[in-house]
Amino acid sequence: MPGVRLDSPRQPGGARSCATPTSPQARLDEVRGRHLTTPAVRIAGLVKRYGTLEAVRGLDLDVPEGEFFGLLGPNGAGKTTTLSCLVGLTLPTAGRLEVHGADVVRDPRRARAAIGLAPQEYNFDRYLTVRETLVYSAGYFGIPPRTCAERADDLLRRFDLWDKRDGEVQKMSGGMKRRLTIARALIHRPRVLVLDEPTAGVDVELRFALWSMLRALSSDEGLTIILTTHYLEEAEQLCSRIGIMREGRILALAPTRDLTGEGERQILEVTYAAVPDSVPDAAWPGLLWDGARRQARVGDLTPAQVPACLAVLSALGTVARVDLRHRSLQDVFLELTTRQPAPEATP
């Protein structure tokens, strides 16, 4: 798939500002300069209730312009609800959401012009062809017909869909539909792109191609991207910062390299030949015991701590096997979402 570039500053309605730099470097410089002022996305105290169910519980989040941000969590964590509130599909019960300073509820027209959504489920208009899907979508954003056609043709070529332009969307493969979903989200040249599980159900080859395309959008054009995914490797590869949600709250929010310890943090797993007489929790801070597998596990160790920890664990019983590996995002995710009780307040 060809690399994707958006070759002009994103302006609702297709207008170009004379004052806006046009080269990618100038654009990135401008983006970095703005980090200190208004974030691309600001969510403050977001609460969303469905009857008695509280899907999001006082969520605070700032996403600086140009960041590739990952929002992770198990099913029901509140990720999609949060994104739905951000793009205007869901009304928040309380709290404030802004896209480039525009309030999503009070100033929806400006907020929506600045954000593009690529939803998880395919939701194409069944009466439109592939090209019409892009042209009509641009029209809904108020872009004049001639510009709509030019942009649609441009995106069809970049996303390798040109040959299918007059075909029916329903007859396209899943990978093509996924590319069209992202192209449609970009048709009005948003400054923030929201991707809800963009690689769900696609094969490995296309997943890598989509990663490459998204990296180009982020690094070359400075597009702010918010991604939700169940593929932790995907978040680790793409996102510069990650938030992990559970039960409507953010449990961890940090640069990806900090969450995983930049590959220096390690996990030690000791499997015993027989169940030891006792495995005291205090044997080592953070020790987890898996009785079914006769396995003691300690995560988040520095290399220097490993020998001492191994000595302590070896003293508990007859060791059958020792595994030492780097701490991955999956380890962090599992620690936070399955083994730790949900905290009472958002950090």
From candidates 23, 52, 126, 277, binder to other proteins by CB under 8 A: 126
From candidates 28, 74, 136, 230, binder to other proteins by CB under 8 A: 136
Tokens representing 235?
Answer: 């978040």
From candidates 26, 44, 89, 320, binder to other proteins by CB under 8 A: 89
For tokens 């080859």, what's the residue? 205
Query: Does 74 contact other proteins by CB under 8 A?
Result: no
From candidates 125, 163, 203, 233, binder to other proteins by CB under 8 A: 125
Phi, psi of 322 (to 5 degrees): -130, 130
Annotate each residue in 40-69 with x if it binds other proteins (CB under 8 A) or - if it does not, as one string: ----------x-------------------
Rounded to 5°, the CA angle 209-213-217 comes to 170
Query: What is the rounded distance in angstroms from the CA atom of residue 107 to the CA atom of residue 95?
Result: 15
Query: What is the rounded distance in angstroms from the CA atom of residue 337 to the CA atom of residue 78?
Result: 13
From candidates 5, 16, 106, 109, binder to other proteins by CB under 8 A: 109
What separation, in Å, do the N-terminal and C-terminal C-alpha atoms of the chain show? 41
Stretch that binds other proteins, among 3-11, 137-145, 214-222, 331-339 (CB under 8 A): 137-145
> How far from the centroid of its chain's Cα atoms is residue 86's Cα?
14
Stretch that binds other proteins, among 22-30, 142-150, 299-307, 320-328 (CB under 8 A): 142-150
Query: Does 140 contact other proteins by CB under 8 A?
Result: yes
Q: State the minimum distance, in angstroms, from the CB of residue 13 to other proteins.
A: 8
> How far from the centroid of its chain's Cα atoms is residue 273's Cα?
42
Q: Are strands 115-118 and 192-196 parallel, antiparallel or unpaired?
A: parallel
Query: Does 76 contact other proteins by CB under 8 A?
Result: no
Query: Does 112 contact other proteins by CB under 8 A?
Result: yes
Is residue 239 a contact partner of residue 227, using CB atoms and an 8 Å limit?
yes
- With a CB cutoff of 8 Å and minimum separation 6, the contacts of 161 are 130, 155, 176, 179, 180, 183
Query: Does 79 contact other proteins by CB under 8 A?
Result: no
Sites of contact with other proteins (CB under 8 A) = 12, 50, 84, 87-91, 108-110, 112-113, 115, 117, 119, 121-128, 132, 136-137, 139-145, 184
